[in-house]
Each structure stands twice: as structure tokens, then as C-alpha cells.
Homo-oligomer: A and B are copies of this chain.
Amino acid sequence: MTRFSILCLLGLFSTSMLFAQNGVTQCGTPTGQPRFPLNTYQELPDPATPSAEEWATVSTPKASWGSIDYRYAKRMIPTKGLQKVSVLQGWRGERVNAQAVVWTGEDIQNLNLSLTGFKSSKGAVLPADACTAAFMRYVMTDQLNLNGKGGCGNRPDHSLFDSLLVADMIDPDLKSMKLPARTSQPIWVQCWIPQSTTPGMYKGNLLVKDGEKLIASLPLEIKVSSRELPQPSEWAYHLDLWQNPFAVARYYQVPLWSQAHMDAMRPLMKMLADAGQKIITTSIMHKPWNGQTEDYFESMVTWLKRADGTWAFDYTVFDRWVEFMMGVGINKQINCYSMVPWKLSFQYFDQATNSLQFVTTAPGEPAYEEMWMAMLTSFAKHLKEKGWFDICTIAMDERPMEVMQKTLKVIRKADPDFKVSLAGNYHEQIEKDLYDYCIAIGQNFPEDVRIRRAAENKRTTYYTCCSEAHPNTFTFSDPAEAVWISFYSSKKHLDGYLRWAYNSWPLEPLLDSRFRSWAGGDTYLVYPGARSCLRFERLIEGIQAHEKIRILRQEFQEKGNEAGLRKIEKMLVPFNLGDMPEIPAATTVNRAYSILNSF
């Protein structure tokens, strides 16, 4: 028996490990299928050891509501945020979340979850599928850089950092489980309140059982406001989480851009659409970010240099990806990376030598202008034929000012109407050229610029990445920081938020969120199998809050409700970048929630 088939039996197999081993029999699953049996994979062993002394106090299984502000450790008795009743508040159309936790001193053979119906005192009911309960799963993570300053830099040796197993993923596919003695198991409960719900207080219970035997019946109350949150497709929030289709193809072992690839991506990207995503991430050249992710971004545009020296471009892949994403409901904007990649080296298929070649050239050089003029002229024509020119942006990452100015010159020369986006620092010199301008969280748009941009219908946002210790969405980050992010965007009167990695999965995203660079979880917010997580759901919470604030501001402005407007601004005052972690994000967020839900 090979190492691989043993791993298969253990459930400790790894998609990509197997995928990398050509010719190895692959657990009987045909290629083109996801490589994880959806409900049986085994988490990595927990490096932490349970305390015999503490666990001695626990014998039979227990269950309680906890708090979504905590990650409950696998081998510790939960103590924080426990509550008898969980009370949620939300607008009609809003998603609200609760967390419960089970812990046991003895083995539970068949732990399973169910929800009763939810009824109001007036007899109204929530639809059966409005609320869901699912086990959370543990994934390996690490910690911030040892100096506490963010999570950037390479981490070739994970042993230099904590190895921590954290509850993150929400696994709707695991219907029942065996829970060993001296283990805690968190449970995620979400209610997506239908827009048609009659306002009122709805009550029901989460039933935690061992087989048929009830361990606990945990009461859940949902207070539904009369206010209504639109469908995600109607949200104004400018959410830009960069998608990586190449990671999906690798993980699912499907040929790039095949029907199987599309099928594998569809639920994952639908989940992104439901979070309010506006932008389709496209790569118009080879390795725009120099291959920094486990799966580098390949060009979606075919660059061909003919033997006669002329350029030819083909958009088959680009079109397939864009049309697929539009079909999923992400259709507002197409961002094209990059004319100024991190390594100024441009790959093309060279017909004369029948090989892939590179041109190393920089903006301002004749070779750069020659190739990009050819590309952009062709691209503009193609985009206009497709009717996409007006929603397309030539997207840049931060570069030295003169490089960006030279790049803009080429763009303008190719077509003066090309929209341009930038994720970088604030630069007065080129601000007017940027349709979609996203700056680092620590920077600021001048107030007059922000207002003028809004009047010009331009998109103005901020981003976080590995640089920020707080707020962040690492797998070990304080969960409320994911919510904090959008409150901060509201405070700054920005249109939304950008993060560079929706699903740039490491080798084994289900097992280990660490990567060769950056802090754990930096590279992805969702898991294979289109499974969400604590981080992503709380990010959506924040987006909903941003949207609610936008709706309230608009209403109060229209109605001249100055007191309301002042109350909102006052609510947002405590969102100060430097306050974390001394003032935890949860404190600030929960205080704001109580105000926001009082409108």
C-alpha cells in the first residue's frame, strides 16, 4: 500500500498532493471531482494538549450558546461569552449569526444538529430554510510577525511561529460527527431573514443531540426589524475581493476553463456574489503579481507575436471567465491586471521560435509602448464589441509615481476613455485619472476629493492586506475585526473595501491556512466546497452594516433628520484605527450594532 492510499484511508489525503503525483491511484475518485470527501476529511492533530485537571470537572456532554466574537479552542472547556439564550436582531433581508458550543468529558458517538421552527408571538413563522446550523471545523494557523507588526514577509519555517488549530470554516456538509472526550465543538447558526418576513420576535431552538438523544435544546430569538435590506445584487457597497480561478482548477483537478472548472467555481463565486461583490478580477498578462500565490495568475488574454513581428491577441479565455462571472451575478465592473506587474517582464507566445518568450521593458520605453499600444488598441475594440468597455478598468497596483504617469500616458494614447483603477497610496497628481481608487487603510482621501469623486460617480475605497495587525481577517484575527472593517469604511464615507485574496488557496486550505508568506489565512476567505467561515460571514455582517448605514444616511438626508445623521456619525466615532487591540473590535462593533439596530 502506498503512502497515498494510506492517507486516503485515513482521510488525511490532500488534493494537491495527490494531484502533484501523476499516475498515483487517487482514492477511487475520478479526476475532475473535488478531492475531499465532503463530510469525512480529518483535521490536522491539535498541537495543544487538553488539561486533565480542567477536563476532570466535565463528564457528560454539555452545550451552550456562545458568542460569535470568540473562537473556541478544540481542547479547552469553553468559558467566554456563554449564554442561555441567544438573541439576534436584524432587518428583513439581513443575515444574522449565532454561535453555540458543545463540550464533553466522554466520547459522543453521533453528534448532530437540528433547528426547530421559528415562530413569532403573533403566529408568523420563518421559512424552514431561513436558518441553518452547521459544525465549524478547525484549521491550522500561526500568528502575527513576532514583533506584533502585521503579518507580511516570507515564513519558510513555520516552526518559528505558533501552530494553532482554530475554528474557522463552517461545514454544512458534515451532518454528524464523533466528538472525542475532552473536546469542544463550535456550531454556527445563521438566519437569512427573508425580505418578506413580518417584523416581530421569532423564537425557536437549536437541538444538539447524540444520535436521537438530546444533549441540549438551546433557545434562539430573532428580532426582525420592519426595515429592509435589499438583495445583495442591489447593494451599493463596492466590494472587491480578488478571485483566483487558477486555484480552483488546481484544487478540483479540472482543466482550466473547462465546463468542469466552471461547475467547480459556480457555488464559490455565487457565495461571493451574495456578499455583494462588484468586480471581476481578470489577468490580462502572465503573472501580474509575479506568481506570489500557490497558484499564480495566468494571462486570460493570449499574446501571440507572429513570425512577421506583428502582435495578435485572442480573448477566448477572458470572455469565458467574464461571461461566467456575469452569469453568477458579478457584473458591475471588470478589473484588468496589469500593465505594471510586480516584475516588468511580459510573456508572449513567439511564433518564430514556437516558444514562450519574455520582453523585459518598463513604462516609458519604446518596447513597452509598442506592445501595450498593440494590446490596448485591440482590447478596446474587443471590449466595445462585447459592450464591456464602460465597465472595464485597466488596474494598477502601487508603483512609483513616474511609472504610473508613463503608464497612464500609454493608456490614454490607446483610448482616452479607458477607465483606470489603482490600489495603492493616495497621490494627488493622478487622482483625477482614477475611476476606482483604493488606498491603504492608514491613508486618507482629502474630504473635498472624496466628495468630488462621489459627485463624479467614481469609486473610492480602502484596502487591508498583510500589513495590518488590526483590523484583519487572518485565521487567528479577532472575529469582530472583519465587521469593524466596513464600519470604518462607513465612518470614512467610502464606497467599500478591497482585499486581494478571496480564494488564493494554499496547498491544503481545508487543513492548513498557513502559506509560505504572510500570516495564516491571508490568502483566502472561503474554503473548497464553497464553504464559508467565521471570517467571511462576519465580513458580510460588516458589509450589511455599511449598507444599512448608507440607507439610513440617505433616508435621514432626504427627510432632513439631522438628529439621526448625527447619531450615526457619533456611532462611528469610536472606529479609530489605533485603538485595537487595546479596545477590542468586538467592543466597538457591538456598541455600534446596538445603536444601528435601534433605528
Contact = CB atoms under 8 A, between A and B. Distances in A.
Interface of A: 255-258, 286, 298-299, 302, 306-308, 314, 316-317, 320, 347, 349, 351-356
Contacts of A320: 307-308
Nearest to A258: B352
A308 B316 contact: yes
A306 B307 CA distance: 19
Contact of A351 (B258, B302, B356): B302
Q: Would you call the interface of chain A mostly helix, strand, loop, or mixed?
A: loop
Contact of A353 (B298, B306, B316, B351): B298
A264 to B, nearest CB: 14
Nearest to A301: B354
Given A255-B352, A256-B353, A349-B349, A307 B299 contact: no
Give the most central of A257, A286, A347: most B CB within 10 Å: A257
B307 A352 contact: no
B352 A256 contact: yes
A371 to B, nearest CB: 16
A160 to B, nearest CB: 35
A133 to B, nearest CB: 40
B286 A354 contact: yes
Contact of A317 (B256, B316, B347, B352): B352
B354 A257 contact: no
Contacts of A354: 286, 298-299, 302, 317, 347, 349
Contacts of A349: 349, 354
Nearest to A319: B307
A19 to B, nearest CB: 14
Nearest to A347: B354
Contacts of A314: 306, 351
Contacts of A255: 352
Nearest to A303: B354
A245 B257 CA distance: 37
A290 to B, nearest CB: 15
Contacts of A352: 255-258, 317
A302 B257 CA distance: 22
A314 B307 CA distance: 10
Contacts of A308: 316, 320
A349 B357 CA distance: 13
A258 B353 CA distance: 11
A316 B356 contact: no
A255 B353 CA distance: 8
Give the most central of A352, A354, A355: most B CB within 10 Å: A354
A255 B355 CA distance: 13
Contacts of A316: 306-308, 351
Q: Which 7 A-B pairs have the closest CB atoms?
A: A256-B352, A307-B316, A257-B352, A298-B354, A257-B307, A307-B317, A299-B354
A353 B298 CA distance: 7
A504 B507 CA distance: 45
A206 to B, nearest CB: 46
Contact of A356 (B256, B286, B355): B355
Give the most central of A258, A352, A353, A355: most B CB within 10 Å: A352
A307 B321 CA distance: 11
A349 B351 CA distance: 10
A373 to B, nearest CB: 21
Nearest to A355: B356
19 contacts: A255-B352, A256-B352, A256-B353, A286-B354, A298-B355, A299-B354, A306-B314, A306-B316, A307-B316, A307-B317, A307-B320, A308-B320, A314-B351, A316-B351, A317-B351, A317-B352, A349-B349, A349-B354, A356-B356
Nearest to A283: B354
Nearest to A351: B302
A483 to B, nearest CB: 39
A127 to B, nearest CB: 41
Contacts of A299: 354
Nearest to A286: B354
Contacts of A256: 307, 352-353
A470 B407 CA distance: 66
A84 B352 CA distance: 54
Given A306-B314, A316-B351, 6 more contacts: A255-B352, A299-B354, A307-B316, A307-B320, A317-B351, A317-B354
A312 to B, nearest CB: 9
A337 to B, nearest CB: 14
A345 to B, nearest CB: 14
Contacts of A258: 352
